[in-house]
Structure 1
Amino acid sequence: MKTKQTIYSLLLFFVLLLCFGCNGKATSNKKENDQNPNVIIIYVDDMGYGDLSSFGNPTVYTPHLDKMAAEGMKLSQFYVAAPVCSPSRAALLTGAYPKRVGLEKGVLFPQSVTGLNPEEQTIAEVLKGKKYSTACIGKWHLGHQEKFLPHNQGFDEFFGIPFSNDMSKKEQEYMGRNDYKWQLPLLSQSDTLELDPDQTTLTKRLTERAMTFIKKNSEKPFFLYLAHPMPHIPIYASPKFQNTSVRGPYGDTIEEIDWSVGQILETLKTTGIDENTFVIFTSDNGPWKVFKTEGGSAGPLRGAKGTTWEGGQRVPCIVRWPGKVPAGYVQRQVITNMDLLPTVANLCGAQLPKRKIDGRDVSKALLGADRKLESSPFLYYASNGKLEGIRDGKYKLLVLDEGTFLFDLESDISEEYNLFEKHSEKVNALREKMKKLDSIITLERRTVGSL
């Protein structure tokens, strides 16, 4: 009898030990997951502040992005550090003003011999330090020479185009330019798969490639940078979406991007990693309104792509992380695309780059809706790299060839009422502050990548 009791006691002991061990392992895995969330940045091209129904567009149907906003957070004062493609992407991936990394002077072209300096650390390289799998799928536009391509900037995989979708002999001839000689390549790493690919298929192909990457890496941490070439001119949608939007061809393109977002979010759910994935959706700059109905909408904002008016640099942004980001909240604090690198680094327990950056960790404002950030000035650089303005608190100063403007952006989002004459002391103080901040960046400006 005593022997049976002893055996029973031993069995009970081992069962409890096993349960404790399993629980300990589960706790350990949970802690590891909390420190190693997956990160997805969906960066679209030339989408304006007023292009989504969740940001007030009455004629574009974007149910998946609307749902993402309802399940996550909408950022109503999200800025990009430049009003054109290449500088904006440099700021996103390095966390620094484009001027600091030498890429402030407009976009790169097929004939360019410069690019993002490989000495700069991208978000991908920061996360590689935590053993993340990384992929860039879509538009790169930070240098098409071999040394500047994504696979030499921290990305394990690259599938996409090296510059804008209009930088193509086929498209330029369509727009009346017959002397253009470059073709648009579709690349895998640095290998050309196709020249002048069928652009009606791009959004679908890039989405499918992104879904494959997610599924392949669902059991380990990953960073996916999905940079759709649309809705940059020329706009294209797949046959399934053509002639479906009341907004016309531009609306078709936006609605296919919305479909793409829905596919990505659904893949996260089917792979069981939805609650461990931080997703950011935003645009590289404002809409290209010069193309009228084929360009986007800045909504209530003045200006457009290429300008330092709000419509050029304030863009739609939605973030989602179930159980972490408060659902259905509108974050009205000023946040920029430069803030994403330090924020992601903190959320993933990764080290910041050794080189100086300009972004700040805003995770407390994304994870805790009521948490206030310290006020931080934001500089407005023109598409040619010239300093044109500063925002500090609610005030924005613009110094343009056409005049000097002071706006209270809390009460005048459309920049209609110039307070320049009424607040001369504020104008002078902001002018001095922006010059001082720019002089520091100029002094610390690093070398652009070159051959």
Structure 2
Amino acid sequence: MRSHLPRLTMIAAALVSTTALAGQVAVQIKGPDGKAASGVRVSVPELMRSSAPSDKDGIVILKNIPAGDVDITAAPSGFRPIQQRVTVAQNGTATLNFQLEPSDALKRAALANSEPATEHLAQKQAYLNSIKAVKGKKPNIVVILFDDLGYGDLSSYGNRLIKTPRIDAAASQGIKLEQFYSASPVCTPSRAALLSGRYPNRAHAANHVYFPTGHPMATIRRSMGWANALPKDEILLPEILSRAGYATGAFGKWHLGDQAGHRPNDFGFQDYFGILYSNDMKPETLWRNDKVDTPADQTDQATLTERITDEAIAFLRKNAEKPFFAYVPYTAPHLPHHPNPKHKGVSEGGTYGDVIEDLDTNVGRLLQTLRDLKVDDNTIIVITSDNGGDWGGSAGNLRGRKGETFEGGQRVPAFIIWPGVTKPGTVSQEMGMNFDFYATILKELNIPLPSDRIIDGADIRPLLAGGKTPHDFLYYTTVWTGSFAGVRDGHYKFRDIVADPSPLGAGGEAYNAIPSLYSLDKDNESHDVSAKHPEELERLKKQLDAFRKAYQHNPRGWIDPPSVVSR
């Protein structure tokens, strides 16, 4: 058996003699999704005690490593062990890149876990079969959804560097909602809520985001029993509107599953063009309905916003004589940022500003098309974001950002232009959430809500007309586990201890070690007021606990037997 004593003796002598004979090793660790992986311990086996975990940026610096050849290892649970040999120079820094890959055991677990069961497919079909074409004049609907646009990224929300005159002009024609929320601080869950009218937890969509089939992160999701596509028994708004006589089209980012049977055409969209997941995921293939339109190596992200707009405009022109629902979920300003050459270097907000000002131009084109077609006076226009801004974006005066249950993670810009309902130039401080559009549209069309399931959204037409919110409470969900971690009413917000472990490492949020209470009408989460208002903390904590208990008892939110009268 080989003895390591000579090697250890040499290392000990080197350390004692002088630190000049030592250098350091910098390791960048990325998860299977290509993003920084925190909490992954890296070590030098021969030095025994020389180990350290990666920081939030996925970086580990191992100092005082003896000069010469040395092995660097990482063996995080659930992933293949990594070992690389590197040469350390005296007083130098050697660099390594570690990419985590699922272990064989994790892959076997993935094969053993199928997608969550479809439980209410028959009830869904019966409901859709009951919907008849709506008679009379029906409003057109256009939903414009930005990807990771922060609360402070538009000039109408206070940004002084990024100019968005076309979006601002459109907003001035309707109501600006300053207390409006996405149902999650990350992409997939928020989109599931918007289109289903339900908290994303009910649709197996609250655990981080869906990944392309074959992606290592898709394997990890399956191994943990997490869905990687929206269950087929969810009833989405386009399915209902299609049955009601609408032309339905989606143009942009889907992110609710790329598998056959879970794509936009499978959930009621008659026309689709775009990318089935995020623009930072490979491959960057563009789809037209159920076929590949543009191979990944031919996709130009710099002009993708423009191309999405072109497709949406073509849809509007094709369907100008009939009621239409156009869903335009842009891929921008999600990372990576690829400014259109027409806008590159123009914005005072740098590359990020260039991307948003390109969005502004294209939103202007879209809205001008409605005017040119003379259908703007009968079109409901929704402009909002799927969650808070990422790094590079602005949360304005809010705390936190994408991925967090602070306000900056879930409070988003929102404008509604609804002729005959909203008044130009109105600003509302009443709270609402993106799942409210579902119930609001169906109520406007006199279509009953599905009665076999809980619909969390509510009809917000009175709010849009300048009245009060229909909600007593709204709930905040975490990124990885999809836990309900906070609740707010019209004045206060209770934020529970957030422990949201990621399968890639420590993960989660660690900002508050104790439950916190914030006065949202006086302060933007800078000061915990629980000591001053313990009764409010206790009241909201009980409300959150009760909601959690009800959810745990009935996670999918089924009503069995279906109620006769819907909410």
**Same fold (TM > 0.5):** yes
* 1:40 counterpart residue number: 142
8 Å Cα contact 2:459/2:470 also seen in 1: no
Deviation, structure 1 residue 446 = 2.5
Deviation, structure 1 residue 137 = 0.6
* 1:435 counterpart residue number: 545
Q: Which of 123, 128, 139 is the matching residue for 2:253?
A: 139
Query: 1: CA distance between counterparts of 2:537 and 2:468?
Result: 26
| 5+ residue gaps, structure 1 | 1-30, 169-182, 290-294
- Provide Cα deviations, 1:102-139, integer angstroms capped at 9, x if missing partner: 21111111133631112111110121231111011100
* 2:286 counterpart residue number: 186
Bigger CA radius of gyration: 2
8 Å Cα contact 1:343/1:363 also seen in 2: yes
Taking every aligned residue pair, what percent have the same amino acid on both sides? 41
Query: 2: CA distance between counterparts of 1:240 and 1:209?
Result: 19
- Please give the root-mean-square deviation of Cα atoms over the aligned residues, in Å: 1.5
8 Å Cα contact 1:203/1:237 also seen in 2: no
Counterparts of residues 43-442 of structure 1 (less than 5 Å): 43-110=145-212, 111=215, 112=218, 114-168=228-282, 183-196=283-296, 197-289=299-391, 295-354=392-451, 355-366=453-464, 368-369=465-466, 371-384=467-480, 385-401=482-498, 402-412=513-523, 414-442=524-552
Query: 2: CA distance between counterparts of 1:241 and 1:443?
Result: 52
Deviation, structure 1 residue 359 = 0.4
* Greater Cα offset, 58-67 or 185-194: 185-194
Q: Name the one with the larger helix percent.
A: 1
Query: 1: CA distance between counterparts of 2:175 and 2:528?
Result: 32
Q: Any idea what SS the aligned residue of 2:496 has? A: strand
8 Å Cα contact 2:250/2:264 also seen in 1: yes
Query: 2: CA distance between counterparts of 1:307 and 1:386?
Result: 12
Code of the residue aligned with 1:158 in structure 2: it is Y
Q: Any idea what SS the aligned residue of 1:330 has? A: strand
Q: Which of 427, 441, 444 is the matching residue for 2:554?
A: 444
- Provide Cα deviations, 1:333-371, integer angstroms capped at 9, x if missing partner: 0010011100111223333223221000001211x21x2
Segments of 4+ in structure 1 off by > 4 A? Answer: none
* Greater Cα offset, 99-108 or 310-319: 99-108
Query: 1: CA distance between counterparts of 2:252 and 2:136?
Result: 30
Query: 2: CA distance between counterparts of 1:356 and 1:404?
Result: 29
| Paired residue total | 394
Code of the residue aligned with 2:292 in structure 1: it is T
8 Å Cα contact 2:458/2:471 also seen in 1: no
8 Å Cα contact 1:102/1:445 also seen in 2: no
* 2:82 counterpart residue number: none
Query: 1: CA distance between counterparts of 2:321 and 2:162?
Result: 36
Q: Any idea what SS the aligned residue of 1:400 has? A: coil
Query: 1: CA distance between counterparts of 2:139 and 2:404?
Result: 36
Deviation, structure 1 residue 397 = 0.5
Code of the residue aligned with 1:87 in structure 2: it is P
Deviation, structure 1 residue 375 = 4.0
Query: 2: CA distance between counterparts of 1:386 and 1:411?
Result: 27
Q: Any idea what SS the aligned residue of 2:357 has? A: helix
8 Å Cα contact 1:80/1:336 also seen in 2: yes
8 Å Cα contact 2:432/2:471 also seen in 1: no
| 5+ residue gaps, structure 2 | 1-134, 219-226, 499-512, 558-567
